[in-house]
């Protein structure tokens, strides 16, 4: 039986050598029916031409502007031809047999809208990053990663439902994207995969963690682990997620919590830690949401 085509999409933003390391690992996979799409998100410093030179088999798209994580992936999705679409961070490397369990899981159950593999840290391969994620607290807009940061001793060797998939590696049927739309581009960075998962679940589909598929993640190559850029987009996107996914009386309580407790606490924490750059980044994140409060763009989902 012919295996379904999987479109693997990854975003490059500077550091083309990192993307090439991913592509080298993809050359070794055992799944025979894939197309690999690399979207360069208008890299400002490092010429990405070496990617296509070293890997002529890929589909290479060079965006004229930085579209962010969601926009860059959407650009690749629109040219994809696969039955399944795998969004894969460029700062990952994959186990040769990682794709078969993901496709098998999707093929076995049409109610599944997305799955993610087991994800470990590349530089600490005995340490887990993802084996599932809990629901968000509707007021704090925070959740908890199952197994996050703990040693892998075989305690997560079973597939499981998850509230959300992981943006570093998640596979979705193209038909689901045609139904719910593409990733919301208002986020730019962070929370877009959670928002996407929430929309997929609202459409009646399940999200799963697949235990016998492995991806290694190098983590935050483009934005830095504790950079002000990450502080800005992480906090801006958290508030966008609240605005897009919380409604009714809970929404108003959540807004009050953010204004009266979370925002003062976070701002004071940055100041007490002597991190004025992060304080300013956090301030800009809140200000952006206040200025954009009545914008209709925040609730738009691009079509496939």
pLDDT at 219: 80
pLDDT at 220: 57
Contact 265, 144 (CB under 8 A): no
pLDDT at 251: 95
Q: What is the CA radius of gyration of the chain?
A: 19
pLDDT at 213: 98
> In terms of DSSP bridges, do strands 124-130 and 34-40 run parallel, antiparallel, or are they unpaired?
unpaired
pLDDT at 1: 66
For 125-136, write each residue's pLDDT tens digit: 999 999 999 999
pLDDT at 259: 92
- Tell me the three state secondary structure of residue 121: strand
Main-chain dihedrals φ then ψ at residue 63, nearest 5 degrees: -75, 145
Which residue ranges of the chain lie beneath pLDDT 70? 1, 220-225
For 266-292, write each residue's pLDDT tens digit: 999 999 999 999 999 999 999 999 988
Q: Indicate the pTM of the whole model.
A: 0.93
Contact 116, 169 (CB under 8 A): yes
pLDDT at 27: 97
- For the chain, what is the largest distance between any 2 Cα atoms, rounded to a whole number of angstroms? 62
Contact 236, 191 (CB under 8 A): no
- Tell me the three state secondary structure of residue 207: strand
> In terms of DSSP bridges, do strands 206-217 and 92-94 run parallel, antiparallel, or are they unpaired?
antiparallel
Percent pLDDT > 90 in the chain is 92
Q: How far apart are CA 183 and CA 187, in angstroms?
A: 9
């Amino acid at each position: 039986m012919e295996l379904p085509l999987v479109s693997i999409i990854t975003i490059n933003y500077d550091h083309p050598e990192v993307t090439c390391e991913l592509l080298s690992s993809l050359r070794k996979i055992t799944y025979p029916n894939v197309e690999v799409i690399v979207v360069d998100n208008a890299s400002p410093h490092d010429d990405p031409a070496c990617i296509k030179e070293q890997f002529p088999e890929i589909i290479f798209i060079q965006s004229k502007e930085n579209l962010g994580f969601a926009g860059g992936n959407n650009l690749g999705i629109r040219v994809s031809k696969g039955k399944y679409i795998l969004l894969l961070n460029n700062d990952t490397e994959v186990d040769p047999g990682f794709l078969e369990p993901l496709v098998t899981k999707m093929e076995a159950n049409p109610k599944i809208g997305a799955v993610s593999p087991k994800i470990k840290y590349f530089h600490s391969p005995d340490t887990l990053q993802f084996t599932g994620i809990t629901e968000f607290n509707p007021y704090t807009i925070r959740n908890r990663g199952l197994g996050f940061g703990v040693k892998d001793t075989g305690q997560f060797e079973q597939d499981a439902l998850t509230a959300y998939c992981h943006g570093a590696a998640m596979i979705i049927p193209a038909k689901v994207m045609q139904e719910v739309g593409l990733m919301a581009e208002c986020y730019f960075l962070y929370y877009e995969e959670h928002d996407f998962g929430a929309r997929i679940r609202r459409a009646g589909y399940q999200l799963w963690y697949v235990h016998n598929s492995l991806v290694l993640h190098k983590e935050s190559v483009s934005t830095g682990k504790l950079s002000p850029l990450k502080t800005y987009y992480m906090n801006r996107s958290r508030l966008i997620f609240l605005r897009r996914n919380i409604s009714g009386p809970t929404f108003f309580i959540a807004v009050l919590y953010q204004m009266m407790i979370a925002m003062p606490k976070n701002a004071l924490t940055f100041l007490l830690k002597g991190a004025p750059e992060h304080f300013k980044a956090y301030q800009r994140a809140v200000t952006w949401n206040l200025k954009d409060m009545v914008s209709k763009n925040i609730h738009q989902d691009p079509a496939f």
